[in-house]
Amino acid sequence: MKNIFYILVLIVAVCTSCKEYLDVKPKGQTIPETAEEFSAMLQYHLDRIDNEDMGDYEIMGDSENVLYYEFFSDNLDASLTFYPDGARSPVYIGSKINTFQDKYEDLYKVIGDCNIIIDNLEEKNTELGKKVLATAYALRGVCYYNLLRLFCEPYDKSKEQEMLGLSVVERFDVEARPVRNNMKESVDFIEKTLKDAITFHQTDQTFRFTEDVAKAYLARLYFWTQQWDKAIAVSEEILEKYPLQEGTAYLDMMQARYDQKGNTILKSYVYGPRGDWSYGLSLSESKVRPVSEELVNLFVEKGNDVRYELSFDKKRLNTKRICSCVRSDEMCLIIAESYAHKADAANALKYLNLLRSKRITGHVPYTESTLPAVDADALIKVDATGKPLTPLISAILNERRKEFYMEADRWFELKRNGRPEFWVAANGSKYETLKYFYTAPLPKEDIDFGTGVIQNEGYTE
């Protein structure tokens, strides 16, 4: 009961204003003292990830969260929404854009708890203390990575010193006022935080955010920020440890409701809810609009591709489990695309063909001369660096779209690759996703708090 008391004290102490959740120690409250008490503080956040009833909206995301990213992207055809069942489902990002401000505040609350642990834990050399510190660093790094993808514009190497980053806060200071650091400072801090987590070599699955999870997020960070060599090195290490699954093993891994199987490195809701009503609602909602024809047509091999029947039925309605997870299949495609950006077609094809060989019966490896032509009608026109798509990059992006459908990936791929504007017709109206919608607005309270926090483009009055 004492541990639970400490958790509740710290949750209550962290309020919604920028001043309170970014840089002020809880006033008049007790800070935990022992490693066990700090561990209990962490377990609150870990339990939210593991138990769907508790609701994790910002760290990994619950099933509804994942589904909404699919709604925002072009994976589901909003113009064919079934009514009245689809009336509550968002047609486009604009209808939910302001809700991201809650994610901003919630992520910084988690960061605040991590900072309390890192600053105040004295038992740093005990086994439990090391696990708690490793998890606090990893969780802080993951939260900052999520903030970077949601609230900053896509990375541009030539502008990293001028681009708006995040309010980087690594310790509490009553007198400090938050400022918005630039992109390079933000990325460097996330990299350091994840590396700090890795140095503990934490492997206890009870704490979920193990050394391998921290490495996977480090690979994601390097990839998002176009550090191709570093992304390759970390991803290859993970892929070697977690080799790709195929056939029945792959299907078992993908459709497992709670078990973390195969080459999955981290998965939410491994303990599930007390009842399946929450997930069941999301699964039902995923069927209120068909999968887009463009996505269906990417499955050129159709039934020979194990993902074809896994993903949707003959009516193009979703059949795939909605999932928030990290698996090494992503590392394989990170390697492929990173090599492609380095103009190393041989290695890019090697890893692209590796993934395809695990998914497609009778797979015929791509060569540079047999790659499909770039689809002139595809929504993505340019790659992450702003260059026109090549057949190789296009093939990798298409493979990624098929592989991570219903895993909240496509929206961020659109953001990473040019932020294309597009519109859908629904309910007799036209809904347009504009370029600036890909970067969510910061809470107004943070802008009003001081001159150091600048609102994102498109949301200023």
Reply yes or no on whether the pLDDT at 234 is more than 70. yes
Q: CA-CA distance, 169 to 186, in Å (whole number)?
A: 10
Give the dihedral sign, CA 395/396/397/403: positive
Average pLDDT in the chain? 90
Q: What is d(CA 3, CA 250) in angstroms, rounded to the nearest whole number?
A: 40
Q: What is the pLDDT of residues 376-414, one digit of tens each?
A: 999 999 999 999 999 999 999 999 999 999 999 999 999
pLDDT at 277: 65
What's the average model confidence in pLDDT over 146-165? Answer: 97
What is the pLDDT at residue 11? 37
Q: What is the structure's pLDDT at 10?
A: 41
Residue pair 222/188 in contact by the 8 Å Cβ criterion: no
The number of beta carbons lying within 10 Å of the beta carbon of residue 111 is 27
pLDDT score of 3: 41
Confidence grade of residue 153 (pLDDT, cut at 50, 70, 90):
very high
Kindly list the distances between the CA atom of residue 329 and the CA atoms of 53, 238, 391, in Å, as whole numbers in the listed order.
28, 10, 21
Residue 13 has pLDDT above 50, yes or no: no
pLDDT (0 to 100) of residue 37: 94
**In this predicted model, what pLDDT tens digit does every residue of 300-348 receive, in sequence order?**
999 999 999 999 999 999 999 999 999 999 999 999 999 999 999 999 9
- The mean pLDDT value for 111-125 works out to 94
Proportion of the chain above pLDDT 90, given as a percent: 79
Alpha helices in 247-305 (DSSP H): 247-255, 277-285, 293-298
In this prediction, residue 427 carries a pLDDT of 82
Tell which CATH classification among 1.25.40.900, 3.40.1280.10, 1.20.1290.10, 3.40.47.10 matches the domain 227-420.
1.25.40.900
Nearest 5°: the CA angle 434, 436, 437 is: 70
The pLDDT of residue 16 is above 60: no
Read off the pLDDT of residues 157-207 as tens digits, 9 standing for 90 and up: 999 999 999 999 988 655 556 789 999 999 999 999 999 999 999 999 999
Residue 444 has what pLDDT?
A: 87
pLDDT band at 21 (very low <50, low <70, confident <90, very high): very low
Question: Which is nearest to 327 in space by CA: 247, 244, 229, 258?
Answer: 244
Task: Report the pLDDT value the prediction gives residue 17, as an integer from 0 to 100.
Answer: 41
Residue 365: pLDDT band (50, 70, 90) is very high
| pLDDT for the residue 175 | 57
Six token digits for residue 223: 């990839």
Q: What is the mean pLDDT of residues 49-58?
A: 78
- Residue 117's pLDDT band (cuts 50, 70, 90): very high
Please tell me if the domain spanning 1-61+96-225+422-461 has the same topology as the one spanning 227-420.
yes
Please determine, for residue 72, whether its predicted confidence score (pLDDT) is greater than 80: yes
Q: Give CA separation, 118 vs 37, 216, 257, 370, 407, in Å.
A: 13, 22, 34, 53, 31
Where are the domains positioned within the chain?
1-61+96-225+422-461, 227-420
Helix 100-120 vs helix 127-151: angle between axes, to the nearest 10 degrees?
Answer: 150
Residue 82 token pair: 């079934």
Decide which of 3.40.50.1980, 1.25.40.10, 3.40.50.300, 1.25.40.890 is the CATH code for 1-61+96-225+422-461: 1.25.40.890
pLDDT in tens, 406-433: 999 999 999 999 999 999 998 889 999 9
The answer to whether 447 touches 167, Cβ cutoff 8 Å, is: no
β-pairing verdict for 422-426 and 429-433: antiparallel
Determine if the pTM surpasses 0.95.
Answer: no
